[in-house]
Amino acid sequence: MCGDNASCQHEDNVIPPFKEPVTDEHTVTDNALVTSDDPMHPANIIVELCRLFYTLGWVTGTGGGISMREGQHLPRPLRRPKRAPPPLPNLHPLLQIPNLHPHPPTPPPPPPPRPSACTPLFLQAYLRRRAGACIHTHSMHAVLATLLNGGTQKVWKIRAAEMIKAIPRGGPGVGEVGTEEGKAGRGYFGCFEELCVPIIENRSREEDLREELERAMREYPECCAVLVRRHGVYVWGETVWKAKTQCESLDYLFQLSVEMTRMGLDPNADVKEIVY
């Protein structure tokens, strides 16, 4: 994102020392990371957020995903195993197939879950922004925002909208982990500032977006999101709750820009604050 220089400062927005995350197969197979009775456990929070986001149309079909960091572990988003086909309906006796196996063999177990294609992109948010969670949606508002002005712009922009104040300037870290720039964020955008989100081009394979996403993060160090044209958006935050707030706020702003453009209004018009 881009905008004017520092607005407000948050003393509590301090990031603890970060160690290289654990990303081996232990992350996928350890039951302690994927099952728990604790409602605040990442596995349960992700399920509840997916339920909510489904009602918003963000993760319908096979679209979207959520990843959370648990300590130094990065729980990999897993694809749901394919469900067994439904049983055949009761057929008329003349149409039934004779049972040639009075004792049919036990069907094989379903294949184990595998890491999502989003995993390399989620890792960029953890390694370059020290995020606590990353959300990917296929929101129609996000997709339409990438198609404004003929669908050729490289950056989505909006200005002078109240919801802009919900977006942090630089997220939890404005530089790569281990660098001098990788410090705590610098407050939040003001509602009269210009807010920008970079747009990268879509690919047929999700994991092939990694290099473009990484480049967008370098070129827009204040961003906490990246749009993918005709695809959706990636949003990250210091915690899963902040990522949720930012994702909801950005989706509102995407829709607002689309509706303003439809009405012939410029979402990025330079509106000055009126002082009485």
- Flag whether 193 is in a domain: yes
Which of these is catalytic: 11, 25, 70, 162? 162
**Which three-class secondary structure state does DSSP give residue 157?**
strand
Report pLDDT for 63. Answer: 86
In this structure, how many other beta carbons lie within 10 angstroms of the beta carbon of residue 191? 16
Spatial distance between the Cα atoms of 260 and 274, rounded to a whole number of angstroms: 21
Contact 17, 57 (CB under 8 A): no
Spatial distance between the Cα atoms of 216 and 197, rounded to a whole number of angstroms: 9
Is residue 176 annotated as part of the catalytic site, yes or no? no
- Flag whether 132 is in a domain: yes
List beta partners, residue 79.
Answer: none
Residue in the structure block whose two tokens are 């606590």: 132
Spatial distance between the Cα atoms of 63 and 57, rounded to a whole number of angstroms: 10
Note the pTM of the prediction, 2 decimals: 0.72
Residue in the structure block whose two tokens are 């607005």: 7
- pLDDT tens for the 276 residues of the chain, in order: 454 444 444 344 444 444 444 444 444 445 666 777 888 888 888 889 988 999 999 988 888 889 888 776 655 454 444 445 555 455 555 555 555 556 667 778 877 777 788 889 999 999 888 899 999 999 999 999 999 999 999 999 999 999 999 999 875 544 444 443 434 456 899 999 999 999 999 999 999 999 999 999 999 999 999 999 999 999 999 999 999 999 999 999 999 999 999 999 999 998 888 887
Query: Which amino acid, one-letter code, is at 107?
Result: P
Sheet arrangement for strand 65-68: 65-68, 133-137, 232-237, 225-228, 194-200, 155-159
CATH number at residue 242: 3.40.225.10
Spatial distance between the Cα atoms of 225 and 119, rounded to a whole number of angstroms: 16
**Which three-class secondary structure state does DSSP give residue 143?**
helix
- Flag whether 229 is in a domain: yes
Whole-number Cα distances in Å, 93 to 90, 97, 134, 193: 9, 9, 54, 72
- Flag whether 236 is in a domain: yes
- Flag whether 173 is in a domain: yes
Report pLDDT for 145. Answer: 98
List beta partners, residue 233.
Answer: 137, 227
Tally of domains within the chain = 1
- Flag whether 148 is in a domain: yes
- Domain interval for residue 140: 116-262
Contact 139, 191 (CB under 8 A): no
Report DSSP letters for 187-216, one per residue.
-B--TTSEEEEEEE---SSGGGGHHHHHHH
Spatial distance between the Cα atoms of 138 and 125, rounded to a whole number of angstroms: 18
- Flag whether 202 is in a domain: yes
Candidates 160, 170, 161, 95; CA nearest to 129 is: 170
Spatial distance between the Cα atoms of 91 and 38, rounded to a whole number of angstroms: 46
- Flag whether 189 is in a domain: yes
